[in-house]
Structure 1
Amino acid sequence: MAPTTHAPDETLAALLLRRLSSVAVAPSAPGLRDDAWLSARGVAALEAELADRGHVLAPPLARALAALSPADLAVQGSLLLHEVDRLLGNDRPHIPLFRGFPEDVPEHAHSLYATRIHALLARQPFQPCVRCGRVGDIVELPSCAHLLCSRCVADLEYCECCGMRLGLPTAAPTSREEPPADTPPVRVLHLLDGTQDAALTALLRILTGRAVPPTPADRADLDTLLRLADPAVVAAALPAEIPVRETRARVLAALLPDAASDDLLARHLRSATDVLRLLVAWSGGEPDLVAPPRLRSLPRRLRRTLLRLLDGFDPHRLVEDLRRHPGLWKRAGELLHPFEHSARHPRAALAFAVLRGTDPFAPGLTLAGDVLPADELRLVGGESTARLTFHGWGAQVERALATGDLLWALELLRRRPGELVRRLHQLLRWGAPEVVEPVLADVLPSVGVSALLAAWGRLRALSHPLDSTRVVFPRGRLAAAHRLDDWGVPVSPAQAHGCCRLLEAELLRRWATADWEAAVLDAGLADLGVPLATRQTSRALVELPRGSRQPLPDAMRLRLFLHWVQPPKVRVDLDLSVALYDAHWRFVGLCDYTHLVHGEKAAVHSGDFTAAPAPHGATEFVDLDLAALRDGGVRFALPVLFSFNDVPFDDLPVALAGVLGTEGPRAAFDPRLVRQRFELSGDSRVSLPLVLDLEERELLWTDVQLPAAGGAHNVWRYRDRLGRLGRDLFLHFAPGRQLSLWETASRRAAAGAGTVLVRQRDGSVDLFRRGGDESSADFAERLAFPAVADGQRLTESDIAQLLRGKRVLAVLATGDLSPALLAESSGALFRGLPGRVDAVPVARVARLSASDLLPSEATDE
């Protein structure tokens, strides 16, 4: 696979810790021990260190660690602390430029500029020590370039001329005696149940069985599993169906050429594009075909297998697929040599002849005359200059739609069910739902879940008054967002109602395969988005779909941080900035390297680092006083991350940012307070990760990037563009305009469980039971948000009694549910934010991601 800058090779232990919050403990060598007391004290010290990082050990894990010898415990504990620090971003020092941050920060960046000019002047030849006046034995400080004698350097921790720290940074200690006032819920670490090989196999099946394109984190984890696992184990663990084509190509490329049998390739490669993805993945590139690498040569046996597969595909689809990526297929043809075997594989040879415009009468080229109908394949020119042309499926669809022939368009689209569903809104604009619905009902079982959910979400949102404005996230290497004004013929909710019912019925049918005895849902799921556009999402500590909303911490101050390390011999200047807007998205002010303080310290910047040499790098902070900002007329705060000197994020060995909750002047970076930590990636120089709504006290996770060039990036330059993008994203992800996890989770529960508990926003729990003759659709309708109970409200003892011994699906927005309620249950759990429910053993209740909540039947089209 192509190397990922921000995802270095992980060990399996690190992956299990991040994915399952589980730790594998290899027992010490057997024998009599008289040092158990020492191991017990070591576990107590380890628990104290983990508590400083907001983590605790589950009792089974604590007992397994205490059974280790002191030497083994020291190794295991050190590795565990390192991995926890890496997850939180605490594996490196985070020291602000101004040591008194946030109190002692100059209100104007001009003072910082003046100190830099002073430093430049102090670097002139024959200068005395700027502190004591001594001449000779002068050294240049690496942090600010001031000239001090060796005696003064030994006595100082900070430069008295400019306030910058001297030497290597050291992390400020945190206090265990005074826990922060807004400490988030602790994260529970569990003992891995079973062997690491079994966990590897289970994770492999989860990642390959998902029905939506993999996120960057999923891709990196899958690469790690494929790298660590034996190819025979991988081939045996693969599910019968891998829904996503990119995942298929990634897995099969890892098995080539030895472990991938012909039967395995024939089972998973179903189109020419699948073959092309495999060739790209085999060559070390990403199988999304956005930026393919130079293709590698193929072993002869593999080349013959792929040619045989290509020849077996439908010739219409084969030619169409080759013409979709002509340049890349021409390079692939140089490796496959299709014309050398034209008699054996005539369809493959003909498809490449169409692609290249090759003379079909060339010597040695034998083509079957009945491969394609004469009305679709024509010869242009005389026999001596003949060239093949092909009028493909896509062109026919466009012609049918342009001429208004809806029946012809539907007949053509019936061949490509996924494309029909993606064009469903366009087809309904003809105002003939009675013609579209029968065709839609026939093809739905063959449509991938991403296309199903996208169409369902758009048609359900037609009643929204702002439906003419949309934000799209185009596929590519950049997680960009673009605003579209749709001035086409509007589709009324009445026209879309029948198609919505068909889409919902198909989803219910797929979800009905799950066997749940009860389900626990959270009304707060309405604030979380459905993971659809997942290819270019950031690797984050708390992985939530784009468009999700989270409540801001109870603390009145919020601290943002940005840390990066520059590559060797390249200076990189990243900047953490905040753009401020009022309720009407009018620009109010900013807080960045040019304006270190906004208002009466309502927003305070820690100071501008212009370089981040290895190994320690540099960190910038911005403190936001939420109450002071609101009082100053600010409603929306947009944290923005800039690469000032135009170095893309992907070129950095380390680039991460995040959010801390804080109440007062504690240590600049306290790992216990980390709410979110995410990595910067992509060929981008400007990132808008989130939008803060101070009036509703919500954080909207946007995770988008802005294409930019030219350098010298700052908020003032982009203030209008940022405001428009922030407003468009805020409206695009407004409640009701997009599918939420509540809509999908409630229907999954209605399809697979007869008893559903709904935890309302006020903490009360309502009981819903499915009637004996009630359909899944009717039950889902009764669960529609906001849910109204048809039974009594339950106490915690009632809930525990109801769930005891049952297989339960729990889908929660926050993990603050009491773990005692699931203590005697089995099943699966999704929670958006960590909380008390994380204490439920992973061995009893499996952990799900948002992607795991979607149905996995059918393949992507």
Structure 2
Amino acid sequence: MSDRLEPLVIRHTHRLPLPTGPAGQGDVAARQFDAVLMSAGFKLSADLLAHLSGLSEATVVDTAVRTLRTVREMVGDHVRHNVYFIDFPAHVPDTFDFWMRCIAEALADDKTHEGTLAQLQSGVVDLLTLPSYGTYRHTYAEMLAAHDELIAAAGDRLTVLHLGGTVEDEVRALYLALAGSRTPLGEDHLGDLGVLAGHCVDGPQPEAIPVRENRAVVNAARLAAGSGLLLDSVTDVLRLACAVSGGDVTLLEPTRFRTLPRPVRRALLAGLDALVAAAPAKLADVSAHREPWKRLGERLHPHEYPQWPYAAEVFAVARGEQQVRSFDSRVEELLGRDDVVGAAELLKSAPGRLLRSLDRLLRTAQAEDEREAMVAAAEQVVSQAAGRVVLSVREHLHNRAEETGERRVFVNRRGRAWVTDDSRPPIAPAQRKRLIAALDAEIRRRLPAPERLLVDPDVLDVALPLSGRATAAGLGVLPRGSVTPVAGELLRFFVYWKQAEQRTDFDLSAVLLDARYRTVSWLSYTSLTQFEGEHSGDITDAPDGASEFINLRLGAVRSAFILPQVNIFAGEGFEEVEESFFGFMLREGEQKGRPFEPATVRMKSELRGPGRVALPLVFRRGRDGSWTAKWLHLYLKGAPSANQVEGNRITVETLLRGIVQRDHINVRYVTGLMAERGTTVTVWDGESIPEGAVTYIGLERPDGLHPDSRVFTPENLRDLIPD
């Protein structure tokens, strides 16, 4: 069990479950373990180092092997990062000179001479037909020999691993935290929840599982174990069927339902029957997903189970044989009659929907008294809506332009982004301010009021994760909209991918834009060198994995923005390859080392999303010359093939303007409301550890913090979102 579950605990909490074994003299091995960890950018806390020192050497070594394997994968050091140009970033050639050299080598090769000559005569040369282009010309070992050892610098990342409780205690706590999350989890976290739920199915359960997708994953584990299902709506059953079939529990993508064993069919139909028998109005939810219900009915065969007649009604509604009016249809009927006040009165029975519909209701209302009624209705129900909804609406109203003519950015739940004109009329300033005041008051009321709050200044502009889908899995990854400082002289991007079945070519690029979001220049396989930096060279095939890098000297960058992007030129998509991830490193000016040095990695993010162009984050230079990063986690549709930075320039420029100018609900907002409630807020100086327990919010838990302190870091920042 330890080998399977311990890595989950380390990844999610940066805590090492309590190592156990015979007592002994493990101090030497523990110090060696700590030293090796530091080369990967991690370090043992003082408590963990002391605990390991009292165990036998064999126990410490065994613990070190397991832990190193996990942390190296966390940072992206579990694969070999080779480069096309062996001594990158030194001696990267001019792009045109490099291409001419590849052509000359192809002409000198008897096998490719004739074909290359014919291409030259036609005026167009396909780089992929040149033998020396796109594949590694040296081994990984030869590349390592060409680089000096990394000399540690004060700015290198050190992620502290803390001493945890027993494996059982840590696993149980992590399960309860993920299952009871108030915000949707990302795909990777949902997978981890499934593993934990299977292990914890017979143990304590969270008081509530508010997120439907989380409930589906937990129910799948309970179904497999023969435990009772946790069902609240008929859609819970549909999501569970998707989970059992290995499909999408979010219901965004169609699921191909498998042939289900009889015990599973009986459990699903019995659950449906009980739900509808207790509350026939729940049938109204069926119409939102008619097609999936009809396909599921073909697998469940409800006609074979006459003992559950209420379950059969679900499929009769899906087929249109039984009519049930949905809540949304009743709202739309009222709006169709221009009865906006009536629609608002009906929506008051569903406070979350009313708040989400506020913008539309205010725009639909024709008279001032109707608009005032909308605001009054929101004020009446705001205390009954989920905290995540209240925060989301607050963020929306903050960013709602009071004038028309702006561009509007849409991002769906999977990170796909697009831009359109904003043709909405404005919301009256007085009503907008009144709504914001009501939302602020409600959030302030729900937030905890600790006596002492210690805050890392670097976390103040980190966005609250109102949805886990807005954050990719990885190390040092923050929610979409987060802004963090960037300190260092050299900024280096990297991408790694390994194809599954067909030749796949990912292209790492970096676009440099001015303050008006216009492209100034870029680094890519078509522009290997610029005054600001270098590209490591184009790799076009990755059967054993491939890496590309871009090196930038921040002091030399003349633009206002740096936007890294990953374009799929050919082959498999981000969700089809065996593995793919993006990240960035920061180094001091004189630091040498390999192209990839784990101790300098600040962020490593999985690339798993729709579309053919990935935009992980953007870097922005301030007026004082300092740099910050804003996290995007966006994907553009792109073209089926041949995506490159030159082709999506206009789309990226327009999209970036809308994203950069949008403000997100962040830690600064929350701590400000806590201060208004009387909490003493202290900005941490990065060194002084207070005596006694505190509530701490930061990018990492400081070593030496009182064990009774309540700690919020990016790994559990979702817990700051009130009920």
Give TM class, smaller chain.
Answer: 0.7 to 0.9
Match of 2:124 in 1: none
State the AA in 1 paired with 2:718: S
Report the aligned-residue RMSD.
Answer: 3.3
Show CA shifts across 1:685-731 (max 9, x none).
Answer: 21011111134511111110001223111111111112111222112
| 1:619 matches 2:547 | yes
Q: Which residue of 1 aligns with 2:373?
A: 435
Report SS of the residue matched to 1:16.
helix
Query: 2:498 aligned to 540, 565, 579, which one?
Result: 565
How much has 1:481 moved relative to structure 2?
A: 1.7
CA distance in 2, matches of 1:725, 1:92: 33
Three-state SS of the structure 2 residue aligned to 1:701 is strand
Q: 2:483 corresponds to which residue?
A: 549
Taking structure 1 as reference, are residues 496 and 536 closer, same or farther at Cα in structure 2, changes over 3 Å only? closer
Q: How does 1:808-819 map to 2 (within 5 A)?
A: 808-812=694-698, 814=699
Q: CA 1:466–1:89 in structure 2 vs 1: closer, same or farther (change >3 Å)?
A: farther
Aligned runs of 1:717-756 on 2, under 5 Å?
A: 717-732=647-662, 737-748=663-674, 754-756=678-680
* 2:267 is aligned with 1:280: no
Letter in 2 for 1:700: K
CA contact (8 A) 1:93 1:170 kept: no
Whether the 8 Å CA contact 2:697–2:713 is kept in 1: the answer is: yes
User: Are the structure 2 counterparts of residues 105 and 284 from structure 1 closer, same or farther at C-alpha, using a change threshold of 3 Å?
Assistant: same
Contact 1:521 1:746 in 2 (8 A): no
Maintained 8 Å contact 1:684/1:708: yes
- Look up the match of 1:789: none
Give the deviation of 1:536 after TM superposition.
Answer: 5.1
- 1:828 equivalent in alignment to 2:710: yes
2:113 and 2:514 mapped to 1: Cα distance? Answer: 54
> Which of 563, 579, 583 is equivalent to 1:654?
579
2:281 paired with 1:307? no
- Measured against aligned partners, the alpha-carbon deviations of 1:813-856 in whole angstroms (never above 9, x if no partner) come to x55x9756xx4462222245xxxxxxxxxxxxxxx52211101x
- DSSP 3-state at the match of 1:703: strand
User: CA 1:502–1:582 in structure 2 vs 1: closer, same or farther (change >3 Å)?
Assistant: closer
User: Does 1:805 pair with 2:692?
Assistant: yes
Question: Deviation at 1:608?
Answer: 0.8
Confirm whether residue 188 of structure 1 aligns to residue 160 of structure 2: yes
The 2-side partners of 1:438 and 1:464 are apart by: 20
Partner of 2:4: 11
Query: Which residue pairs with 2:45 in the alignment?
Result: 58
Partner in structure 2 of residue 376 of structure 1: none
- 2:126: which partner in 1? none
From 437, 446, 450, give the equivalent of 1:510.
Answer: 446
More deviation, 674-683/163-172: 163-172
Say which of 206, 216, 222 aligns to 1:249.
Answer: 216
Gaps of 5+ in 1: 1-8, 128-142, 147-158, 359-387, 765-795, 833-847
The residue type paired with residue 503 of structure 1 is L
User: How far apart, in 1, do the equivalents of 2:383 and 2:582 lie?
Assistant: 42
Alignment match, 1:850: 717
Does structure 2 retain, via aligned residues, the 8 Å contact 1:95–1:618?
Answer: yes
- From 562, 582, 585, the counterpart of 1:637: 562
For residues 551 and 112 of structure 2, what CA distance do their matches in structure 1 show?
40
Distance 1:22 1:610, change over 3 A: same
Note the C-alpha offset of 1:678.
Answer: 0.8
SS in 2 for 1:242: coil
Q: Is the 8 A contact 1:684 1:705 kept in 2?
A: yes
**Using the alignment, how far apart are the partners of 1:116 and 1:655 within structure 2?**
31
Instruction: Pick the aligned partner of 1:200 from 167, 171, 193.
Output: 171
Shift of 1:531: 1.5
**1:442-481 map, 5 Å:** 442-462=380-400, 468-475=406-413, 478-481=414-417
Q: Which whole-Å deviations, capped at 9, do the CAs of 1:79-138 have from their partners, x for residues lacking one?
A: 2222221111112222221122112011124524642662475263999xxxxxxxxxxx
1:757 matched to which residue of 2?
681
Q: Distance in 1 between matches of 2:143 and 2:543?
A: 15
Cα separation, 2, equivalents of 1:731 and 1:106: 37
Residues 9-58 of structure 1: CA deviation (Å, up to 9, x unaligned): 9821211222222223543346xx7xx3xx43333322221222222222
Give the structure 1 partner of residue 117 of structure 2: none
Change (3 A) 1:389 1:50: closer
* Alpha-carbon separation, structure 1, partners of 2:196 and 2:586: 34
1:491-517 Cα offsets, whole Å, 9 max, x none, are 123113343333333333433xx5733
| Inter-CA distance 189–521: structure 2 relative to 1 (3 Å threshold) | closer
Partners of 2:194 and 2:103 in 1: CA distance: 46
Q: Does the residue aligned with 1:214 lie in a helix, a strand or coil?
A: coil
Number of equivalences: 696
CA contact (8 A) 2:185 2:467 kept: no
1:772-793 CA distance string (max 9 Å, x none): xxxxxxxxxxxxxxxxxxxxxx
Letter in 2 for 1:206: A
Q: Which residue of 1 aligns with 2:509?
A: 577
In the alignment, what sits opposite 2:119?
Answer: none
| Closer/same/farther in 2, CA of residues 144 and 674 from structure 1, 3 Å limit | farther
Matched, 1:352 2:315: yes
Q: 1:411 to 1:104 in 2, by over 3 A?
A: same
Contact 1:97 1:607 in 2 (8 A): yes
Shift of the 577–269 alpha-carbon distance from structure 1 to 2, 3 Å rule, reads same
Partner of residue 677 from structure 1, selected from 596, 604, 610: 604
Deviation at 1:397, TM superposition (A): 1.3
Cα separation, 2, equivalents of 1:192 and 1:526: 27
Give the secondary structure class of the aligned counterpart of 2:78. Answer: coil
CA shift in 2, pair 1:100/1:336, >3 Å: closer
Mark the CA change 1:215 to 1:285 in structure 2 (over 3 Å): closer, same or farther: same
Contact 2:497 2:580 in 1 (8 A): yes
Alignment match, 1:588: 520
State how 1:28-427 maps to structure 2 within 5 Å: 28-29=21-22, 36=25, 39-112=26-99, 114-115=101-102, 118-119=105-106, 122=109, 124=111, 164-166=137-139, 171=144, 178-180=151-153, 182-184=155-157, 186-193=158-165, 195-227=166-198, 229-233=199-203, 237-261=204-228, 265=229, 268-291=230-253, 292-297=255-260, 298-299=262-263, 301-312=266-277, 314-318=279-283, 320-338=284-302, 348-358=311-321, 388-427=322-361
Q: 1:460 to 1:230 in 2, by over 3 A?
A: closer
Distance in 1 separating the partners of 2:647 and 2:458: 37
Deviations, residues 357-381 of structure 1 (Å, cap 9, x unaligned): 33xxxxxxxxxxxxxxxxxxxxxxx
Provide the rounded CA distance (Å) in 2 between the counterparts of 1:523 and 1:51. 25
Identity %: 30
Judged with a 3 Å threshold, the aligned counterparts in structure 2 of structure 1 residues 759 and 463 are, in CA distance, closer, same or farther, namely farther
- Which amino acid is 2:439 matched to? L
Name 2:633's counterpart in structure 1. Answer: 703
Confirm or deny: 8 A CA contact 1:279 1:295 kept in the other structure. Answer: no
3-state SS of the aligned residue for 2:217? helix
Distance in 2, matches of 1:462 and 1:163, equals 50
In structure 1, distance between residues paired with 2:189 and 2:8: 11
Letter in 2 for 1:302: A
Under a length normalisation based on structure 2, what TM-score does the superposition of the two structures give? 0.88
Specify whether residues 303 and 347 from structure 1 end up closer, same or farther in structure 2 by C-alpha distance, changes over 3 A only. closer
Q: C-alpha distance in 2, partners of 1:163/1:43?
A: 38
Partner-residue secondary structure (3-state), 2:570: coil
Structure 2 unmatched ranges of 5 or more:
115-128
Give 1:459 shift: 2.3
Normalising by structure 1, report the TM-score. 0.74
Kept in 1: contact 2:372–2:431 (CA 8 A):
no
